[in-house]
Amino acid sequence: MDIQRSIAAPCRHGGGTTLECRPFGPPCPPVPESPELPLIADIAVDCPGRDHYSWLVPEDLPVAPGDCVTVPFGRQTLRGFALSVERRAAPTTFTLKPVLGRQEGVRLPPHLLRLIAWGARYYRCSLGEFLAGAVPKPVREGAKPDIRIRYARIDGFAGKLTARQRQVYEAMSPVPTLRTELHEATGASESVFDKLVDLGAAQRIETEDIQEIRLGAKVERHPLTNEQTVAVEAVAKALDAGRHETFLLYGVTGSGKTLVYLELAERVIAAGKQVLLLLPEIGLTPQLAARVRTRLPRTEVMHSGFTDGERAAAWARIAAGLVDLVVGTRSALFAPLPAPGLLIVDEEHDPSYKQESTPRYHARDLAVVYAGHLGVPVILGSATPSLETVHNARPQDGKPARYTVLSLKNRPAGGKLPTPVLVDMRDECKAQKRAAVLSTVLVDHLVKAKAAGSQAIILLNRRGWAPILSCGECGQAVMCTSCDIALTWHKAEGILKCHYCGARRPRPQDCPVCTADALGTTGIGTEQLAAAIPEAVPGMTVLRVDADTVAGRQGHARLFQQFAEGAADCLVGTQMVAKGLNFPKVTVVGVLCADKGLAVPDFRAGERTWQLIAQVAGRAGRADRPGTVVVQAYDIDAPAIRCALENRPKTFVDAELKQRQEYGYPPYTGLIRILWTGESQANVQLVAQDHAQRLEAARHGAVVLGPTPASLAFGKDLHRWHALIKCASRGAAQALLDRLAAEGGLPEKKGVTVTIDVDPQVTG
- Which among Zn ion, ligand ADP, none contacts residue 480 (Cβ within 5 to 8 A by kind)? Zn ion
Task: State the binding string over 208-227 for ligand ADP (x if CB under 6 A, else -).
Answer: ------------x-x-xx--
Closest CA to 568 of 534, 526, 525, 528: 534
Name 421's Cβ contacts closer than 8 Å, sequence gap at least 6. Answer: 441, 628, 629, 630, 631
Segment 566 to 585, residues that bind ligand ADP, using CB under 6 A? 582
Residue placing its CB nearer to ligand ADP in the complex, 257 or 445:
257
Displacement of CA 21 from its chain's centroid (Å): 32
Residues 639-698 that bind ligand ADP (CB under 6 A): none
Per-residue buried b or exposed e for 158-173, using 16+ beta carbons within 10 Å of the residue's own CB:
eeebeeebebbbebbb
Whose Cβ is closer to Zn ion: residue 481's or residue 680's? Answer: 481
Phi-psi map region of 282: left, alpha, beta (phi>0 left; psi -120 to 50 alpha): alpha
Residues in 248-287 that interact with ligand ADP by CB under 6 A: 251, 253-259
Output 259 or 629, the one with its CB closest to ligand ADP: 259
Could you say which of ligand ADP, Zn ion, none residue 501 binds, taking C-beta under 5 to 8 angstroms by partner kind?
Zn ion
Kind of pairing between the strands at 378-382 and 340-346: parallel
Confirm or reject binding of residue 412 to ligand ADP (CB under 6 A): yes
Residue 220's binding partner, choosing from ligand ADP, Zn ion, none, with beta-carbon cut-off 5 to 8 A by kind? Answer: ligand ADP
Nearer to ligand ADP by Cβ, of 251 and 372: the residue is 251
Identify residues 199-238 at the interface with Zn ion (CB under 5 A).
none
Task: Return d(Cα 425, Cα 125) in angstroms, integer.
Answer: 47
341 binds, among ligand ADP, Zn ion, none (CB under 5 to 8 A by kind): none
CB 170 within 8 A of CB 564: no
- Closest approach of Zn ion to the CB of residue 499, in Å: 8
Name the binder of 498 from Zn ion, ligand ADP, none, CB < 5-8 A by kind: Zn ion
**Between 259 and 529, CB nearer to ligand ADP:** 259
The binder of 483, among ligand ADP, Zn ion, none, by C-beta within 5 to 8 A per type, is: Zn ion
- In DSSP terms, which residues pair with 423 in a beta bridge? 632
Closer of 18 and 482 to Zn ion (Cβ): 482
Q: Of 594, 466, 595, 460, which is closest to residue 522 (Cα–Cα)? A: 466
| CB of residue 454 to ligand ADP, shortest distance in Å | 17
Query: Which is nearer to Zn ion, 196 or 480 (by Cβ)?
Result: 480
How many angstroms separate the CA atoms of 99 and 175, rounded? 45
Please check whether residue 1 is in contact with residue 730, taking contact to mean a CB–CB distance below 8 angstroms: yes
Whose Cβ is closer to ligand ADP: residue 253's or residue 392's? 253
Amino acid identity at 117: A
The interface mask with Zn ion, positions 436-475, x = CB under 5 A, is ----------------------------------------
Task: In angstroms, give the least distance from the CB of 720 to Zn ion.
Answer: 12
Rounded to 10 degrees, what is the CA torsion of 499, 708, 121, 666? 80
- Round to whole Å and give the CA distance between 632 and 644: 13
Burial class (CB within 10 angstroms; exposed 0-12, middle 13-18, buried 19+) of 663? exposed
d(C-alpha 744, C-alpha 704), whole Å? 19
Q: Which amino acid is at 249?
A: L
DSSP for 294-345, written as a single string:
TT-SSEEEE-TTS-HHHHHHHHHHHHTT--SEEEESGGGGG---SSEEEEEE
Query: Nearest approach, Cβ of 724 to Zn ion (angstroms)?
Result: 23
Select 257 or 317, whichever has its Cβ closest to ligand ADP.
257
Closest CA to 432 of 422, 446, 443, 421: 443
Window 48-87: residues binding ligand ADP (CB under 6 A): none
With CB under 5 A as the contact rule, the residue among 112, 182, 269, 501 that binds Zn ion is 501
Q: Are 72 and 100 spatial neighbours (Cβ–Cβ below 8 Å)?
A: yes
Whole-number minimum distance, CB 484 to ligand ADP, in Å? 41
The H or E element that residue 269 is part of is: helix 257-270
The entry of Zn ion, ligand ADP, none near residue 257 (CB within 5 to 8 angstroms by kind) is ligand ADP
Three-state SS at 545 = strand
- Closest approach of Cβ 230 to ligand ADP, in Å? 12
The entry of Zn ion, ligand ADP, none near residue 503 (CB within 5 to 8 angstroms by kind) is: Zn ion
- Residues 473-492 touching Zn ion, rule: CB under 5 A, are 480, 482-483
534 contact, one of Zn ion, ligand ADP, none, CB 5-8 Å limit per kind = none
x-marked contacts with ligand ADP along 357-396 as a string, rule CB under 6 A: ----------------------------------------
The residues, any chain, with a CB within 8 Å of residue 424's CB and separated by 6 or more, are 633, 634, 636
88, 94, 99, 100 alpha-carbon torsion, rounded to 10°: 160
User: Which of the choices ligand ADP, Zn ion, none does residue 258 contact, using the CB cut-off of 5 to 8 A by kind?
Assistant: ligand ADP
C-beta of 83: minimal distance to ligand ADP in Å? Answer: 39
Q: Which does 228 bind (CB under 5 to 8 A by kind): Zn ion, ligand ADP, none?
A: ligand ADP
CB of 521 to Zn ion, least distance (A): 18
Q: Which does 255 bind (CB under 5 to 8 A by kind): ligand ADP, Zn ion, none?
A: ligand ADP
Q: Count H helices and E strands in the chain, helices first.
A: 21, 30
Number of residues that bind ligand ADP (CB under 6 A): 16
Q: Which is nearer to Zn ion, 482 or 729 (CB)?
A: 482
Residues 6+ away with beta carbon under 8 Å from 701: 727, 728, 732
Minimum separation from the CB atom of position 411 to ligand ADP (A) = 7
CA–CA separation, 340 vs 268, rounded Å?
9
Q: How far is CA 712 from CA 207, 681, 756, in A?
A: 49, 14, 16
Nearer CB in complex with ligand ADP: 80/254: 254
- Residues 210, 168, 562, 382: what is their CA dihedral angle, to the nearest 10 degrees? 10
Torsion sign (Cα): 608, 614, 617, 623: negative
Which of the ranges 9-17, 70-78, 269-277, 501-509 carries the binding residues for Zn ion, by CB under 5 A?
501-509
Sheet of 488-490, strands arranged across:
488-490, 495-497, 504-505
By C-beta, is 218 or 504 nearer to Zn ion?
504
When CB distances are held under 5 to 8 angstroms depending on the partner's kind, the choice from ligand ADP, Zn ion, none that residue 415 binds is none
List contacts with Zn ion (CB under 5 A): 480, 482-483, 498, 500-501, 503
List contacts with ligand ADP (CB under 6 A): 220, 222, 224-225, 228, 251, 253-259, 412-413, 582
